[in-house]
């Protein structure tokens, strides 16, 4: 086990933990940047650490996520994430 201080991460993407059950990734997005439409083979969650992001799903659902917001979701539904301002998020993907 290892304690990771996310405030000290100086990259735009950092894999924090990965094992046979899940992986957790830290992302820093500049304004207007993010992740394009994609899917995963299961469920996932996103937690906003700093900033504001828009998360849009192929089924028409859209969420504005702000600092402190946590959204668990079915990642088999195509989705994307776009930062409204410079933002930091944690994404956990269940395998």
The domain that holds 46 is classified in CATH as 2.60.120.10
Q: Which domain holds residue 48?
A: 11-94
Whether 38 maps to a domain, the answer reads: yes
Q: Domain tally for the chain?
A: 1
| Residue 25 domain-assigned (yes or no) | yes
The DSSP-derived string for 12-56 is SEEEEEE-SSEEEEEEEE-TT-EEEEE--SSEEEEEEEESEEEEE
**pLDDT tens profile 30-74:** 999 999 999 999 999 999 999 999 999 999 999 999 999 999 999
Q: Is residue 6 part of a domain?
A: no
Question: Is residue 1 scored above 90 in pLDDT?
Answer: no
Note whether residue 68 is domain-resident: yes
Residue 4 inside a domain? The answer is no
């Amino acid at each position: 086990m290892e304690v990771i201080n996310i405030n000290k991460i100086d990259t735009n993407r950092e894999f924090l933990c990965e094992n046979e059950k899940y992986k957790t990734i830290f992302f820093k997005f500049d304004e207007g940047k993010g992740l394009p439409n994609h899917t995963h083979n299961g469920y996932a969650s996103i937690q906003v650490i700093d900033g504001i992001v828009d998360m849009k799903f192929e089924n028409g659902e859209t969420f504005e996520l702000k600092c402190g917001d946590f959204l668990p979701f079915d990642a088999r539904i195509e989705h994307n994430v776009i930062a409204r301002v410079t933002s930091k998020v944690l994404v956990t993907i269940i395998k």
